[in-house]
């Protein structure tokens, strides 16, 4: 009889100890995972048809001109798909360096695991914008809008005005 009780006690102890160790490991794993997620950077991929600006590069924050307004994206942002309107994307790189890009339109896709993909129809670094051409384009499309007679011509001219107005604003015109 004495041998049976010891085995029963040993088995019970091993089961309980195993459960305690599993619980501790899962708490440790969850804490490690949360720490890694909180400390990790946003991985940015940003391209236009003619050029890739970032390819899965770690950045601190990205601000985009969404259709419903300008918004910032930090690590652990809720997964989202946002249509972009003409405006400026601001990329805050490590050590606070900021780079600014004008985009005409496109999409920003925020996926799980801190990945942000921006596909722009047209994109250019803000410092490369020709202020005179931006102003000239705005004047031309404003004149086209004023003289447009069909709905299609008005729509085309309005898109030109919107893009060139945002382009001129990005260039500081």
State whether residue 66 is helix, strand or coil.
strand
pLDDT, one tens digit per residue, over 46-71 is: 999 999 999 999 999 999 999 999 99
Q: What is the pLDDT of residue 172?
A: 86
Residues of the chain with pLDDT under 50: 27-39
Q: By C-alpha distance, which of 33, 39, 42 is closest to 80? A: 42
Sequence-distant (≥ 6) Cβ neighbours of residue 127 within 8 angstroms = 100
Give the Cα-Cα-Cα angle 138, 81, 44 (nearest 5 degrees). 85
Q: What is the DSSP string of 72-124?
A: EE-TTPPPEEEEE-SEEEEEE-GGG-EEEEEESSEEEEEETTTEEEEEESSEE
Whether the model pTM is above 0.85 = no
Q: What is the pLDDT of residue 12?
A: 54
Q: What is the pLDDT of residue 40?
A: 72
């Amino acid at each position: 009889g004495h041998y049976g009780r010891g085995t029963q006690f040993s088995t019970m102890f091993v089961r309980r100890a195993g459960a305690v160790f599993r619980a501790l490991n899962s708490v440790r794993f969850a804490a490690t995972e949360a720490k890694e997620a909180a400390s990790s950077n946003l991985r940015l991929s940003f391209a236009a048809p003619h050029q890739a600006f970032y390819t899965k590069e770690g950045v601190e924050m990205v601000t985009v001109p969404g259709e419903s307004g300008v918004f910032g994206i930090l690590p652990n942002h809720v997964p989202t798909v946002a249509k972009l309107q003409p405006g400026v994307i601001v990329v805050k790189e490590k050590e606070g360096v900021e780079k600014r890009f004008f985009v005409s339109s496109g999409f920003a896709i925020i996926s799980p695991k801190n990945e942000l993909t921006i596909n722009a129809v047209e994109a250019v670094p803000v410092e490369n914008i020709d202020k005179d051409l931006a102003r000239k384009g705005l004047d031309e499309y404003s004149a086209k809008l004023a003289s447009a007679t069909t709905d299609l011509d008005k729509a085309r001219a309005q898109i030109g005005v919107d893009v060139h107005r945002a382009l001129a604003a990005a260039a500081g015109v």
